[in-house]
Structure 1
Amino acid sequence: MTEPKSPGAKEVWITGIGIVSSLGEGLDAHWDALNARRINFDDKRFAPYIVHPLAPVVFDAQIPKKGDQRQMEAWQRIGTYAAGLALDSAGVKGNQEILSRMDMVIAAGGGERDIAVDMAILNADAQGNSSPGFLNERLMNDLRPTLFLAQLSNLLAGNIAIVHGVCGTSRTFMGEEAASIDAARIALARIEAGQSDIALIGGAHNGERPDLMILYEFGDFNLTEKFSGVWARENNSGFAMGSAGAFLVMESREHAEARGAKPYAKLTRVVADLAQRKQPGAVTKSLEALWTKLGVPGDSGNLITGATGVEPVTAEEKAFLRQHPGFAVRATGTTFGHTLETQFPLGLALAALSISRGALFPPNDPTGFEVEKSEPPTQIVVVGAGHWQGEGMALVEAVK
């Protein structure tokens, strides 16, 4: 059954949305691209791997100092830029009184590796030249200390604080898709409980990284050779990595009304699970349990999922979705690629955007699994099932 809210829990509004991705930047550009069923992917640059590259962005618009840009890796620039868009959208950009107490809850991965060092080590090992102690010797001598410092996951929050002046409490979660589910869940709980008035949450991902392609190839997670939508990958399993940043400004209704802010939507509930995926059907059972906890009203509605296209998890998620045939499904992975830590906040952002625009964006799925839905959405379920582990759901609703 639905988990009860604590007495006096505050209503939480989404008042700012910032998105930058392979489709462009900003809400209008994304809304237009989604309605045009546009997909931007590249199957040549990293062949046989497929990526959804970041659209051209003039970072100066949100990160004016070139020195700040230079000391950030690509994923940090993407995230800092998207965070600035969210602050602009919420009408708090430059408002030092609010920014000084705005909290941050961010999902982040590790930084980028030194490809030249990695390749030298792998080649030496393949040629039989890796004597005992070889790995430690190479890592000690070849890696710059500053390279390690640049990998720190909490640097995204640090850069947002430096560039945009967001200086309340800061939390950074690691753990791929599950990290962003928990970021949303904890930010919601803090605002509901009155521990925070306003928070910036989100994540960023640079999918154009050969080191990540190597990492995920070891697990056979990469989509290769031919692009297809996530629902058509049963015989060609994998995700196409995407570059994207998605951030939300969330605040209590009282705080938003006091400053005259208008909501895109409200975030009603976020629930999470970590199924032990040792038995077939574990993800289906996990999602069904989360559905019950979420308390989704009725047997029809709208659903945005970050389904990856990786098997068997996508087939198990599809089995769950088939148990709720009245819900119109949209998979962000087809259009944006898989953006890992960014996938769940991206789903929340698109849900809030759809509610505010009075329409669910059209399906982009030649298999027919996704269907048209003409009624204006008042509730959208956001689903995330990690490629390796972690499941979560959120309920985004119109403000009454």
Structure 2
Amino acid sequence: MSTKVVITGLGATTPLGGDVASTWDGLLSGRTNAQVLTDEAFADLPARIAAPAAVDPGEVLSRVEARKLDRYEQFAMVAAREAWKDSGLADADVPGERIAVSLGSGIGGLISMLNVYDTLRTKGPRHVTPYTIPMIMPNGGAAWVGLDIGARASVQTPVAACASGNEAIRHGLDLIRSGKADVAVVGGAEAAIHPLPMAAFGAMMALSRRNDDPQHASRPFDKARDGFLLGEGGAVMVLESAEHAERRGARVYAEVAGAGASADGHHIVQPDPEGKGNAFAMREALTNARLAPHEVIHINAHATSTPAGDVAEAVGIRAVFGEAAQNVVVTAPKGALGHLLGAAGVAESIATVLALYHRVVPPTINLDNLDDEVGLDVAVEPRKLPEGQLAAINNSFGFGGHNLVIAFRTV
């Protein structure tokens, strides 16, 4: 019998708010922070809209600390500190050798790399900060968080594009189940609202071009969707073995019941239109969690608002759940949050956990006309969940065909 793993701490800083409470309130109320980017550097881009973080992380961290960190690392630190405090472990005496960190990012310190290169080119090498390498290395966020909490069991950085955050959760789950750690701080962070990645995503026709209507740009599952809305932020969970959490009297949000992973093996950026890869990951998550499809009552969908991706996910869901799919309440948070890339999986896993904890599913905003090819029960208003033991899954898929699915269960 594998070790039961539970969630005891949550932290987030997103386009909807600077913490978990404000982010959750934003999801329930259907808010969005989508806006036109007015800096002249974005003026000639085909897509000039995004969803910036509601609270600048530089305002939360000290000035000295913020100067050492890339923006994505700042998001990681803010979210991790909230989660660590929320868990109560800040006041617990846990040996560092029993604490692990797994914190992913799809792109890492890209903004610092570009900015420092501009400094080198215009001012010369003497003006390059000595913190440049720690700011641009992909493992920087995980490393700083590990130092902050004294983690010594393991500090890792999964990189799986937009599935990086859920890969971090899976890694933390495995570390605790294997007995290599009692506590795992898992998460994701991303900061890529910059002309270069936006021009690149735009060249791929991946971004919405509703420049005159940003608040309605991200439209998961809607017939009129035309691409995703880039967001930014960080999200972190604290996982513990149930025995460890019980021993210290911790508050528990939910159980991480299982995880599943797969690769599409189809295309570097396009999803398998038959949904075979995402279906495989969902089945593996259910098997790993010892759940039957009919036991799942809620799915937090990856649904980025791209024409191909949303339908491919729906095809996979219907293949896995069959007739039971009609009894599953689906939501797609990217309508409100935008796409947080490497932070998306954990931010949306937090939403999944809170849906079980509070027994209410947040709505999918901007869904006016459900695509005929979706064929799922997608919530457009907050939807109450019944009493009793419940299970849910969170889907997270990334460029390269990475599919990571996490299953959660009430406790």
The TM-score, its normalising length taken from structure 2, stands at 0.81
**How do 1:55-134 and structure 2 match up within 5 A?**
55-57=54-56, 63=61, 65-93=62-90, 95=92, 97-98=94-95, 101-108=98-105, 109-113=107-111, 115=114
Alignment partner of 1:39 is 2:32: yes
Q: Which amino acid aligns with 1:163?
A: D
Amino acid at match of 1:330: T
Q: Tell me the distance in 1 between the aligned counterparts of 2:59 and 2:249.
A: 29
1:126-159: CA deviations, max 9, x gaps? xxxxxxxxxxx979x7794844452111111222
Aligned-partner residue type, residue 311 of structure 2:
A
Is the Cα–Cα contact under 8 Å of residues 237 and 309 in structure 1 kept in the other structure? yes
Residue 344 in structure 1 maps to residue 335 in structure 2:
no
Q: CA deviation at 1:181?
A: 2.8
CA shift for structure 1 position 297: 2.5
Q: Which residue of 2 aligns with 1:54?
A: 53
Matched, 1:370 2:378: yes
Does residue 285 of the first structure (1) align with residue 285 of the second (2)? no
Asked if 2 retains the 8 angstrom alpha-carbon contact of 1:360 and 1:376, the reply is no
Deviations 1:169-211 (A, max 9, x none): 2011223123323222121112112121110000111142223
Q: Distance in 2 between matches of 1:244 and 1:306?
A: 17
Which residue number in structure 1 is paired with residue 168 of structure 2?
183
1:240 correspondence with 2:229? yes
Q: Distance in 2 between matches of 1:253 and 1:283?
A: 38
Change (3 A) 1:96 1:115: same
Matched, 1:212 2:214: no
Cα pair distance change 1:387/1:308, threshold 3 Å: farther
Task: Return the letter of the residue paired with 1:40.
Answer: N
Shift of 1:215: 3.0
Provide the C-alpha distance between the structure 2 equivalents of 1:386 and 1:280, rounded to a whole number of angstroms.
9
What corresponds to 2:309 in structure 1? 313
Instruction: Tell me the matched-pair count.
Output: 373
Q: Distance in 1 between matches of 2:257 and 2:115?
A: 47
Q: What CA distance in whole angstroms lies between the structure 1 residues aligned with 2:238 and 2:116?
A: 39
Task: Map Cα deviations across residues 326-376 of structure 1 (whole Å, 9 max, x no partner).
Answer: 211111211111111111111221111122212222342333562353223
Alignment of 1:9-24 (within 5 A): 9-24=2-17
Q: Flag the structure with larger Rg.
A: 1
Letter in 2 for 1:198: V
Q: Does residue 140 of structure 2 align to residue 155 of structure 1?
A: yes
Query: Partner of 1:297 in structure 2?
Result: 292
Shift of 1:116: 6.9
The structure 1 residue matched to 2:156, chosen from 156, 171, 174, is 171
Matches within 5 A, 1:325-364: 325-364=326-365
Moved more, 29-38 or 243-252: 29-38
Alpha-carbon displacement from aligned partner over 1:269-312 (angstroms, at most 9, x marks no partner): 11011111259845511222233323343446111022222342
Relative distance call for 1:177 and 1:42 in structure 2 (3 A) is same
Post-superposition CA distance 1:22-44 (Å, at most 9, x none): 11122322232222111111124
Range with greater deviation from structure 2 (95-104 or 348-357): 95-104
How far apart in 1 are the matches of 2:194 and 2:271? Answer: 32
Q: Secondary structure at the match of 2:162?
A: helix
Partner of 1:396: 408
Describe how 1:186-205 pairs up with structure 2 within 5 A: 186-205=171-190
After alignment, is 98-107 or 66-75 more displaced?
A: 98-107
Query: Secondary structure at 2:395's aligned position in 1?
Result: strand
Q: Is the 8 A contact 2:161 2:341 kept in 1?
A: yes
CA distance in 1, matches of 2:70, 2:91: 24
SS of match in other structure, 1:35: helix
1:99 positional shift: 5.0
Distance in 1 between residues matched to 2:104 and 2:192, nearest whole Å: 15
Aligned partner of 2:395: which letter? Answer: V
CA RMSD of aligned residues (A): 2.9
Match of 2:393 among 381, 388, 391: 381
Identity %: 21
- Unaligned runs of 5+ residues in structure 2 are 320-324, 371-376
Distance 2:356 2:308 in 1: 32
TM-score, normalisation: structure 1: 0.83
The answer to whether 1:270 aligns with 2:259 is yes
Secondary structure at 1:202 match in 2: strand
- C-alpha distance 344-283 of structure 1, shift in aligned 2 (>3 A): farther
Contact kept in structure 2, 1:52 and 1:207, CA below 8 Å: no
